[in-house]
């Protein structure tokens, strides 16, 4: 029998036992999982926890500002912002294999947390319990564990950056208080812990960000293009009141594909953008969201006229299975 209060109580006790009086760090992605994990751990050990937001250059338009605002206001935890865009993009340079991208991003996150550790230790120079940051808190939820093939050694579907994508020489001990929960349960816990609706009901966004929404190699120009297309989609869905109704609406750039088009009477040879709006209960299965045709038309017209280099918009109507929600 599942009750939110019970889950919170049990996890707070377990976290206190695990962390003791040591220091912990958590990476905030802006998504609900890491926010709820942070709130739980903060309830358990207070300011022994430091939250870190890493700008890896794979975020959506305005996302960093939105996250800073949302967390600055609502979450009492100490928040450090780290700009690691150059390091992430250099590490990803020329890489187009999806699993390799995921491993590189997972690895870079850890290296960035290790750098943050040095700052935290330096700041608490007089505290004998703060000579190191021993624990890394992660918002891993049950579906992440299953899809990374970690639950029972079964087949890997994709290595979620915080499970199968971790480096082998990880020096932090992991704290994963949501590991047994589904997303709807995580949202209940978040609400109970007092997190605001704009965090609890934010659409899921993967830790590797737009890095796994560019099919092909990643570079700044491609990221900027995708950010523009994605911003248009989000703007239109919000304007039409569809945010909550739709589980998630990834926008994908097929960077390795080009097709012929026509604009102002001249030939174009541009990239397609894929819309992937889905309904889901827990991200384990999904079906495509039936967005009104007129709205799709408007999105398509806006993207092809406002985003340079894109001359085609396609709609992904595949269920999960056999598709996954993200393309990589
Ligand atoms: P798929 O693509 O496997 O995605 O159907 C299921 C859900 O998980 C999200 N996702 C991730 N989240 N790190 C994350 O934090 C990851 O590496 C990752 N990969 C996929 C995806 O956005 C969807 O909500």
pLDDT of residue 72: 67
Query: What digits encode the pLDDT tens for the residues 75-133?
Result: 566 888 999 999 999 999 999 999 999 999 999 999 999 999 998 898 887 888 888 99
- Interval between CA 132 and ligand 1 midpoint (Å): 31
pTM, 2 dp = 0.93
The token pair that represents 123 in the structure block? 């700041």
Enumerate the known binding-site residues for ATP.
29-35
Which three-class secondary structure state does DSSP give residue 262?
strand
Nearest one of 70, 92, 88 to 79, comparing CA atoms: 70
For each of the domains in the chain, give its residue range(s) and CATH number, in order of start. Answer: 4-200 (3.40.50.620), 213-315 (3.30.300.10)
The pLDDT of 156-174, averaged and rounded, is 88
Residue 255 has pLDDT above 80, yes or no: yes
Name the residue with tokens 């560019």: 214
Q: How far is the CA of 130 from the centre of ligand 1 (A)?
A: 33
Binding residue numbers = 29-35
Position 183 pLDDT exceeds 90:
yes
Q: Is the CB of 207 under 6 A from ligand 1?
A: yes
Residue 212 CA: which ligand 1 atom is closest? Answer: 19
Please give the Cα distance from 120 to 157 (Å, whole number). 36
Q: Ligand 1: distance of its center to the CA of 56 in Å?
A: 17
| Average pLDDT value over all residues in the chain | 93
267: β partners: 262
| Distance in angstroms between the alpha carbons of the first and the last residue of the chain | 36
The CB of 147 under 6 Å from ligand 1? The reply is: yes
Q: For residue 130, what pLDDT is reported?
A: 81
**Lowest-confidence region among 79-83, 127-131, 252-256, 296-300:** 127-131
Our measurement of the distance from residue 111's CA atom to the centroid of its chain's CA atoms, rounded to an integer in Å, reads 18
Check if 276 has its Cβ closer than 6 Å to any atom of ligand 1. no
Task: Give residue for tokens 């608490």.
Answer: 124
**pLDDT score recorded for residue 69:** 77
Gap between the Cα atoms of 21 and 13, Å rounded: 13
């Amino acid at each position: 029998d599942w009750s939110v209060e019970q889950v919170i109580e049990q996890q707070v006790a377990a976290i206190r036992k695990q962390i003791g009086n040591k220091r912990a760090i958590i990476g905030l992605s802006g998504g609900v999982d890491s926010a709820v994990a942070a709130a739980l751990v903060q309830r358990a050990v207070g300011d022994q926890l430091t939250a870190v937001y890493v700008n890896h250059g794979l975020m959506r338009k305005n996302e960093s500002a939105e996250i800073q605002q949302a967390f600055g206001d609502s979450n009492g935890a100490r928040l450090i912002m780290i700009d690691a865009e150059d390091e992430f993009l250099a590490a990803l340079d020329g890489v187009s294999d999806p699993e390799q991208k995921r491993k590189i991003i997972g690895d870079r996150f850890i290296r960035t947390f290790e750098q943050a550790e040095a700052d935290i230790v330096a700041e608490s120079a007089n505290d004998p319990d703060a000579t190191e940051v021993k624990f890394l808190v992660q918002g891993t939820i049950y579906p992440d564990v299953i899809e990374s093939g970690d639950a029972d050694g079964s087949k890997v579907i994709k290595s979620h950056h915080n499970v199968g994508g971790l480096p082998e020489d990880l020096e932090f001990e992991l704290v994963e208080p949501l590991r047994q929960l589904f997303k709807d349960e995580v949202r209940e816990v978040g609400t109970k812990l007092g997190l605001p609706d704009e965090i609890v009901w934010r659409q899921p966004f993967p830790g590797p960000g737009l890095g796994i929404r560019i099919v092909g190699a990643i570079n700044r120009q491609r990221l900027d293009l995708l950010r523009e297309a994605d911003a248009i989609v989000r703007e239109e869905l919000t304007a039409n009141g569809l945010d909550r109704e739709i589980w998630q609406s990834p926008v994908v750039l097929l960077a390795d594909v080009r097709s012929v088009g026509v604009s102002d009477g001249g030939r174009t040879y541009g990239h397609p953008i894929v819309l992937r709006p889905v309904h889901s209960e827990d991200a384990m299965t999904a079906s495509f969201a039936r967005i009104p045709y007129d709205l799709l038309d408007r999105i398509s017209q806006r993207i092809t006229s406002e985003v340079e280099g894109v001359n085609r918009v396609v709609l992904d109507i595949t269920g999960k299975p056999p598709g996954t929600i993200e393309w990589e």
